[in-house]
Structure 1
Amino acid sequence: MGRNTRKRRTPLATKAIAASAALALGGGGLIWANFYASAHESNNSAQNQTKAAAAQVATISCPDVGQKLTNVPASAQRGVAAELANLDKQVTEAYARLASTRQAQTNDASFVQNSIIGPLKEKRAATIDRIRLDVQRVGGRFDSSLAQLAACTTMTADQTNQTNADGQDNTGQQQNGDQQQNGDQQQNGDQQQGSNGQAGNGPTAADFVDITKVTQNVQAKPQNTGNASTGTFTTKCGVNANKNFNTDNVIVAPGVTNGAHHLHDYVGNQKVNAFSSNQTFLQGGTSCQNKNDLSSYYWPVVRIQDGTQDFDQNKDGGGKEGNVGKILTPVQAQIKYVGSPAGKVVAMPQFLRIITGDAKTTTNGLANANAHWSCTGFEDKVQLTTQYPICPQGSNVVRTFAFQNCWDGQNIDSANHRSHVAFADPASGVCGNGFKAIPQLTMRLVYKITPPTIENGVVKNAYAVDGFPDQLHKAATDHDDFISVTTGGLANKIANCINSGQRCQ
C-alpha cells in the first residue's frame, strides 16, 4: 500500500470508570439520553443485575470495509463510495436501535442478536455484494473475502476502553518523529462505566485526564540533514467565525448528504459539500487572506456538553445522531506547511486529498489514529491520543494535526483514501517505497474551555469531538481533512519557500 509500516507502542489508556444516568435532553436527543436508562431502573435485585448486564453492551463493532478496498477502478469509485456510505448509515441506524431498546434487551437476552446484529449483517452483506457488482461491472477484481466483513459484533463498555488501551495490538501512525504519545494515564479505579456525556453515548470520565499528572512523553524530532528543507509557509484562513458547517464528507462520501454523520468546521474554500467537484472548488472563494489558497481545510467540531443545545439538536449529524451540546469556535486556528529534515520537498499536486487520523478507532483500533490533544503551556511536554486533557486554570485546550508528508507521485486520492500518502520514517524523516516528500500540512486549533470536573466517577461539563454515534466520542477518533486547491502558482511558491529556508505567508 506504500505506507510506512513501522510501528510504535500506543499509550496506556484508562480502564472503565463508573457513571450514572445521562442528562435528559429535549427533541432528538432523547434517544441518546435513554441509552443506559434501563440499567438504573429498580424492581428486585436479580432483575437489576440483568439490566446492568444488558447496559454493558455499549456499541456495535463492524469491520471497516472501506479500509480494505485498495484498488477500485476509477469508473466504479463513485458508486462504491455511495455503498460505503450506506454501510455507515446502516451502522448508525443499528446503533440508534441499540440505544432505544434497552428495556427490550433486559427482557430478552437474545434481542440484540436477533433484532439488531442479525438484520444488520443481512443489510451489510447485500451492500458488500453491490460493491462487488460495481467493481466487476467495469472489469475490476473484487476480493471475495470481503464478504466475510458483513458480520458485526457488540462491544461492552470495558472493551471500548481496552481498544484504546491495548498497546500490544494497536499501533499509531508515524508522525515524522512529531509528538509520539505514550503517557495517557489511568484514573479513578475500575468501576463500571455508565452513561456519562450529555447524549448518553460519551464521553465518559475515563476519556479525560488531568494533564498535570501525565508523564512527559513528547519525543525529539529527527535531526536535519545538510539538504533539509527548513522553511515554513503559513496561511491565515480564520476560525470559521462565519459558521460554515455541514455533515457531508466530499472525500469519503461524494454525492451523499450527511455522509459524515457528524458536523464539520470549514475554513479556506467556502463551497465544499457532498456535491462539490474540482471545478466548483476553483469557483468557491476562500476565507484565507491569500486568495490563491482555495484549499479546503475541515475538521469535526468540538462541543461543550453543559446542557446547552445548538442549532442542529434535532438534525441528522447533530442531536439525532448523538452529537449534542454547544458548538465551540476555536480562538485560534494556525495552518502551517513545514519541510522535511531529510531533503527538499516537491509541490503538492492540484486537488490532492489527504485524511489524517481515523474517525472509527473505537472499533478499528489505533492503527491509523493521529490525534494530538494537549494544553497551552504543555504542548512540548505532553500530547495525548486516547484521552482529552483537563487543563489547569488559565490554560486552553489544543488540538494539533500533522498530516502525511510523503506522496506516491501519481495519485491525488486512493480507494481507501490512505494508500497514496504516507508518513516519513520517524527516525530519519525519509520517505519510503518510492514516495516523495511534500510540504507537511500542520494545524493547531486552540479552544477556550472551562475545565471539566469528575465527581463520583461522572464527568461534569465534558467536551468532545463530534463523531459517528457508535464511536462514543472517544478522543482517539479525532481526524482532519484537506483538499489542496491553489491558483497563481501558489503550490510551487509554498515548496520553494520551504526549500529555501524562508518564513513565508
Structure 2
Amino acid sequence: MGNERRLLTLALCLVLSGVLIAAVLGAWRAVGPHAEAADGRPTASDYVDIREVPRVPAAAPAPGPDGSTGSMVVNCGRNEERHYNEDNLVVSPGLPGGAHHTHAYVGNLSTGALSTEASLAAAATSCAGGDRSTYYWPVLRRPDRPGTRAHEDSAGHGNVGEIVPEASVRVEFRGNPFSKVVPMPRFLRGMTGDAVAYTADSEADVRARWGCSGSPDRATTRYPRCPAGELVTRTLIFPSCWNGLDTVGVTHRSHLLFTAANGVCPKDTFPVPELRVSLAYEIPPGLKVALDSFPEQRHSPKTDHAMFVNVMTDRQMAALVDCINKGRDCRT
C-alpha cells in the first residue's frame, strides 16, 4: 500500500512538472527571443550601430541598352496635414480600424477603410502636381513620451507614444534596367514588406531597409543608431512587375511581383514604374523608437511595410512613363 502511494505521488509530481514546463515554454514562445521585453517594446537586440552594418553593393544592376533609366519625383509633402488612421484600404478594405496600428499618409487626403475608387478620384491631394494616389506606412513613435494628440494612443494594442513626424518624404518612380516600362492601370493597389515578419516562418517578404542619412551605402533590418546630426531613414521599395490582369491580387501580392536580382521580371509579367518611398526622421542619438505593429509583432523593425493605390489619371501616368522611358529625371 505504501509503495502504491509513493508511486501515485511520484506520478502526480511528474504531471504537475510537465504542466509547469509547458506553461513556461508557451510563455517563452509567445514572446520569442524578446522574452525580456515584458512590455512589448523593442529591446537592445533590435538596434544596431550603423557603423557596424556592412556596406551593400549597388541596389540595381547596370542598365542595358533597352533599359528605362529615367525617374520622376512626385512632391506630396511630408504629411503636414497629419493624416493618420488605423485603416488599411489595400489589405482590409471596408474594415475601419482593421490595421490595429496607425498609418501615416501622403497624397490622397480622403483615404480610409471605406474609400472607393470614386471617392479617391474626387478627393483633394497633398501632391503639388495633382496626383491623387495614396501612399502610406506605419508611424514611428517615441515610447518615452506619452501621446497627447489624436492617434497617439487611440490605436491601442501597445502602439502608444508620441508620433515622430517625418522630416522628409520622397515619393519617386524609377524604370527597369532591361526594358521599357508600361503604364500602371488606374487603381492598382500594391504593398511591400511583411507586417507579420516577427512571427512568420519565412523572411521571403521582408523588405525593411533602415539606415542613416550619412551612410547611404549601408542598410539594415534593425533600428539604426546614427551619429549625431544624421537622420534615421526608411526606404520602402515596391514590386514593379504587373501580371497585366488585376489591380487587386488575391493575396494582395500575387498581381504585382518583384524583379529577379538581375532586374528581369518573372514570366508573364510586365515591368511598370518602380515606386520608392523614402522617409527620414530626426531622432536624438541613443533614443529608442518603436514602429507601430500588430501586438504579437512586438514593434519589430523587420515588420516595416507600406501600401499605395495608384489614382493617377491616364494623362498623368502617360507623362510618368514617357519620362522614365526617355531616360529623363522629372519632378511634378
TM-score, scaled to structure 2: 0.89
Give matches, 1:352-501, under 5 Å.
Answer: 352-364=188-200, 365-380=202-217, 382-385=218-221, 387-427=222-262, 429-452=263-286, 461-487=287-313, 489-501=315-327
What amino acid is the match of 2:318?
N
What amino acid is the match of 2:36?
G
Shift of 1:308: 2.7
Q: Deviations over 1:50-82 (max 9, x none)?
A: 89x849825xxxxxxxxxxxxxxxxxxxxxxxx
1:155 and 2:125 correspond: no
Shift of 1:425: 1.3
1:337 and 2:173 correspond: yes
- From 103, 107, 115, the equivalent of 1:264 is 103
1:299 and 2:133 correspond: no
Contact 1:310 1:327 in 2 (8 A): no
Shift of 1:195: 2.4
- Judged with a 3 Å threshold, the aligned counterparts in structure 2 of structure 1 residues 418 and 367 are, in CA distance, closer, same or farther, namely same
Separation (CA, whole Å) in 2 of partners of 1:204 and 1:352: 37
Who is 1:57 aligned against? 27
SS of the residue corresponding to residue 256 of structure 1 reads coil
Contact 1:266 1:298 in 2 (8 A): yes
What amino acid is the match of 1:302?
L
Shift of 1:449: 0.2
Separation (CA, whole Å) in 2 of partners of 1:313 and 1:340: 39
Who is 2:113 aligned against? 274
- From 64, 70, 78, the equivalent of 1:239 is 78
Separation (CA, whole Å) in 2 of partners of 1:284 and 1:470: 35
Q: Deviations over 1:158-185 (max 9, x none)?
A: 2x6xxxxxxxxxxxxxxxxxxxxxxxxx
Shift of 1:156: 4.1
- From 66, 69, 81, the equivalent of 1:230 is 69
Who is 1:195 aligned against? 37
Who is 1:29 aligned against? none
Q: Deviations over 1:76-124 (max 9, x none)?
A: xxxxxxxxxxxxxxxxxxxxxxxxxxxxxxxxxxxxxxxxxxxxxxxxx
Shift of 1:215: 2.2
Report how many aligned residue pairs link the two structures.
309
Q: Deviations over 1:352-395 (max 9, x none)?
A: 00010010001113110111000011122x1112x110111111
- Judged with a 3 Å threshold, the aligned counterparts in structure 2 of structure 1 residues 332 and 215 are, in CA distance, closer, same or farther, namely same
Separation (CA, whole Å) in 2 of partners of 1:155 and 1:342: 45
- Judged with a 3 Å threshold, the aligned counterparts in structure 2 of structure 1 residues 463 and 250 are, in CA distance, closer, same or farther, namely same
Contact 1:56 1:157 in 2 (8 A): no
Shift of 1:284: 1.2
What amino acid is the match of 1:326?
E
Shift of 1:435: 0.4
Contact 1:218 1:383 in 2 (8 A): no
Shift of 1:221: 2.2
Contact 2:106 2:127 in 1 (8 A): yes
Separation (CA, whole Å) in 1 of partners of 2:256 and 2:314: 25
What amino acid is the match of 2:146?
T
- Judged with a 3 Å threshold, the aligned counterparts in structure 2 of structure 1 residues 450 and 314 are, in CA distance, closer, same or farther, namely closer
SS of the residue corresponding to residue 198 of structure 2 reads helix
- Judged with a 3 Å threshold, the aligned counterparts in structure 2 of structure 1 residues 487 and 220 are, in CA distance, closer, same or farther, namely closer
What amino acid is the match of 1:406?
C
The runs of at least 4 aligned residues of structure 1 exceeding 4 Å deviation read: 53-56
What amino acid is the match of 1:276?
S
Give matches, 1:283-322, under 5 Å.
Answer: 283-291=122-130, 293-311=131-149, 312=151, 314-315=153-154, 317=155, 320-322=156-158
Shift of 1:242: 1.3
Who is 1:138 aligned against? none
Separation (CA, whole Å) in 2 of partners of 1:436 and 1:373: 29
SS of the residue corresponding to residue 214 of structure 2 reads coil
Separation (CA, whole Å) in 2 of partners of 1:448 and 1:314: 21
Shift of 1:218: 3.7
What amino acid is the match of 2:122?
Q
Separation (CA, whole Å) in 1 of partners of 2:225 and 2:253: 32
Where structure 1 has 5 or more consecutive residues not aligned to the other structure, the ranges are: 1-49, 59-153, 161-192, 453-460
1:504 and 2:324 correspond: no
Q: Deviations over 1:301-320 (max 9, x none)?
A: 101122332434552x2xx2
Contact 1:310 1:324 in 2 (8 A): no
Separation (CA, whole Å) in 2 of partners of 1:448 and 1:247: 24
RMSD over aligned CA atoms reads 1.8
Separation (CA, whole Å) in 1 of partners of 2:220 and 2:116: 35
Question: Which structure has the highest helix share of the two?
Answer: 1
Separation (CA, whole Å) in 2 of partners of 1:232 and 1:208: 33
Who is 1:123 aligned against? none
What amino acid is the match of 2:269?
F
Separation (CA, whole Å) in 1 of partners of 2:125 and 2:152: 28
Identity over the aligned pairs, expressed in percent? 38
